[in-house]
Amino acid sequence: MRVFTSTALLGTSMFAALMGTAANAPPGMRVVFDGSPVASNGIKPTQAEGLRFVTGAEGKAAAIERPAVLAYPASVLNLDAFTITLRVRHDVPIKDLFYRRLTYVYHETEDLKNRLAIVKRAGTDCLMFALSNGTGRAKGDDFGGDWFSMTAGPLDWAAGSWHTITATADRKAGRAQLLVDGRKVAEAEGTELPDELGTKLWVGSEMGHSWMRGAIDELVIEPVSRLSDAPLTPLGDTLYPPIAPAPRLLGSSVGTLTGKALAMNLDFFDLCIGLDAWDMRDCEREMERLMAMTAHYGFDRLYYRISVCGAVANHTTVMTPADHRAFEKYRGRRGLDTCCANIPSAHTRMADVMERIDPLAESAKYGRKHGLQIYAWVTSWDSMFYATPDEFFQKHPEFTWVSRDGKRHIPGVPCYAYPAVREYRLAQIRELLAHDIAGIILSPRSHSPWPGRNKPSDEIGSRDFGYNAPVIDEYTRRYGSDPREAKRDSLEELRFVALKAEFFNQFLRDAKAECDRAGARLIMVTSESISDPIRADRMVVDADGILREGLVHELCFMGRTNADLAKWRTLGDGKITVSTWASIHGTSYDECMPRMRTRLKGMLENPLSAGSTFHEMANLIYTDCWEEAIVDTVETHLQAGQTSAEP
């Protein structure tokens, strides 16, 4: 008869006796994996694909490697108290799996709540037992108020060694614990256990991805808790020690291998406010983790988003910081970030992070350590939602785009015709360039209430706003008429639209001069429509003029990674890099992974592109689709012999 080394586990006869005496309890189960995934009490998997049976600690074990999946009816769990114990082995040292998320057990309901996870976090050597209930607008309240409350590490398991993981929780007692090899390594107090069950309890993967990449020998689920009174003995002095320089999984960066630079957008606000995406206990190491992960999976650059819709995510003496004043009305509120794979989020965490670290400084420091070029990413027409009353454009609404009749403004949309606006933004550029960064990337992304953004409108932002005094004066000087009197779709109206872009070009001249003095690069993001005064419905970024005059070092086109860039490369005359930009936003792994894969393939096969930027990191790191989306795609491309020199 098999006997676990952990005293928390039961032999066959005792297990059967317990199952017969636990009043109103679900059946529980014991699976020994001796050539079959069926439990000793007859419970069959709801899904079992790709399993291999290998030599176990005793008898056989089930190897769960990509793409194998194993799941059992969730009804084996008792909602009020349970103990899950499993013996695991990896064929390589656990430290060789540092960059992998290893999922041992996972459960959630269809509404994304009532979660249970026993996971080794990617980018760490830490094991985590986490729970949430079914309340609230996000993914349930976390056990003990912190998804990371039961985290232990760093693990130091040798290749081929067997280890026993035990996770136990009791709603009535208000306690939960994580044990490794019988040693209590983490515990927390709380009552936030799942309130209801979904259909499946996943074993060895997170709903079919993030595989454990190892073997399980004997899994026992009991409908009682087995809380230990032994003293807490953590596995190490610190959960998150400094990370060694990241090895490149592909051998080199994608840019080095293919001639096409691979860039990651880190919209830091979106990620750090994630309740289960960022461990507040060590913000510096969390930032290093992001840099190391990005480098490990092949990226050449990371664009750190400074702008937070009227505030900035860096320590500043020039702009308005993203501190608690910026998020006061969001205090106590939680929700799901649907664009970013449904991360459960709380806005005020951004301010909490800002109190602990300067995120830009840390990203620059650790980007350099791990071989990434770090750029500061600034949105140029996006200064509204979290702006405090003392923010520049809140104090000076006259510097924002105004309507034809002069009575309405688009909040947070600067008019670059004003020297004061250009100087304000140049002061930001100079402050950012004081950091150890490779350059600045400017973006037209905007969350301001443009006409037609939230409801249908007869007005067009590019044509019905921006009638600020300096624009009118210059238009009148040039053309001898008042642009406010221009008729719809007339040449006069299009001249007005194009003129506003000329003022932004002046800002670009000055910004590039600052970058050149600092030995840094300036990148501007645009698109085919934003570059066309006829089609643009908001701002215009004059791609033709920018390329002809050489106002930036790189021009990046939003849209398709396989776009025809012939016109733009011709205008750039080989002196300005031309690249693309693509979104991988989605609500889940099943949406984000194929988008990243398809759009990366488009970049690699585009002979005219110097590379692509992918928006955004949250959709990769949260869904854990790095390997399937990036590594597989690049390896397939290289094997097909489709590499090309950088254009």
Residue 99: HSE in the Cβ half-sphere, 13 Å Cα cutoff: 21
- Distance in angstroms (rounded) separating the CA atoms of residues 234 and 102: 20
Please say whether the beta carbons of 563 and 598 come within 8 A.
no
Report residue 163 as tokens.
Answer: 């280890």
Which residues have CB under 8 Å from 559's CB, separation 6+? 527, 528, 580, 581, 582
Element (DSSP H or E) covering residue 361: helix 359-369
User: How far apart are alpha carbons 159 and 94 in whole angstroms?
Assistant: 7
pLDDT in the model for residue 22: 41
Instruction: Read off the pLDDT of each residue in 494-509 and give the average, rounded to a whole number.
Output: 98
**Which residues in 416-430 are b (16+ Cβ under 10 Å) and which e?**
bbbeebbebbbbbbe
Domain boundaries, the chain: 12-222, 254-448+457-639
Secondary structure E strands in 415-565: 439-443, 521-527, 554-558
Query: 269 is written with which tokens?
Result: 């606000």
Tell me, what's the pLDDT at 454?
Answer: 83
Say yes or no to pLDDT of 5 above 60: no
**pLDDT over 70, % of the chain:** 95
CA–CA gap between residue 150 and residue 128 (Å, rounded): 6
Where does residue 160 rank: exposed (0-12), middle (13-18), buried (19+ CB within 10 A)?
Answer: exposed
Whether 249 and 298 have beta carbons less than 8 Å apart is answered as yes
Averaged confidence pLDDT in the chain = 94
d(CA 384, CA 118): 40
- Per-residue pLDDT tens over the stretch 55-112: 999 999 999 999 999 999 999 999 999 999 999 999 999 999 999 999 999 999 999 9
Q: What letter would DSSP give residue 345?
A: E
Read off the pLDDT of each residue in 324-341 and give the average, rounded to a whole number.
96
CA distance 395 to 399: 9
Going from the C-alpha of 546 to that of each of 12, 278, 569, 573, 614, the distances in angstroms are 75, 39, 12, 12, 23
Tens digits of per-residue pLDDT, 546-568?
999 999 999 999 999 999 999 99
Given a cut of 80, is residue 6 above it in pLDDT?
A: no
- C-alpha 239/C-alpha 260 separation (Å) is 37
Among candidates 646, 584, 645, which has minimal Cα distance to 620? 584
When pLDDT is averaged across residues 594-604 and rounded to a whole number, the result is 98
CATH number 2.60.120.200 given to 12-222: yes
**pLDDT surpassing 50 at residue 10:** no
Where does residue 602 rank: exposed (0-12), middle (13-18), buried (19+ CB within 10 A)? middle
Mention every residue, 6+ apart, whose C-beta is less than 8 A from residue 484: 404, 467, 472
pLDDT at 605 over 70: yes
**For residue 12, pLDDT beyond 70:** no
Mean per-residue pLDDT, 596-623: 98
The fold of 254-448+457-639 is TIM Barrel (3.20.20)
* Single-letter amino acid, residue 176: A
Q: In this predicted model, what pLDDT tens digit does every residue of 367-426 receive, in sequence order? A: 999 999 999 999 999 999 999 999 999 999 999 999 999 999 999 999 999 999 999 999
Q: How confident is the model at residue 453 (pLDDT cuts 50, 70, 90)?
A: confident
| Tens digits of residue pLDDT in 254-267 | 999 999 999 999 99
Indicate if the pLDDT at residue 18 is higher than 60: no
User: What pLDDT is attached to residue 26?
Assistant: 65
Tally DSSP H helices, then E strands, for the chain: 17, 27
What are 98-118's pLDDT values in tens digits?
Answer: 999 999 999 999 999 999 999
Indicate the helix (H) or strand (E) that contains 392: helix 392-395
pLDDT bracket for residue 2 (50, 70, 90) = very low
Residue bearing tokens 């590490």: 153
Whether the pLDDT of residue 9 is over 50: the answer is no
User: Residue 457 is which amino acid?
Assistant: S
Q: Is the pLDDT of residue 644 over 90?
A: no
Helix (H, G, I), strand (E, B) or coil at 112: coil
**CB-CB contact of 568 with 547 (8 Å):** yes
- The model's confidence at residue 642, banded by pLDDT at 50, 70 and 90, is low
pLDDT value, residue 585: 98
Q: What sign for the dihedral angle of Cα 80, 81, 87, 88? A: positive
CA dist 125 and 167 (Å) reads 18
What CA–CA distance (Å, rounded) separates 444 from 526?
A: 7
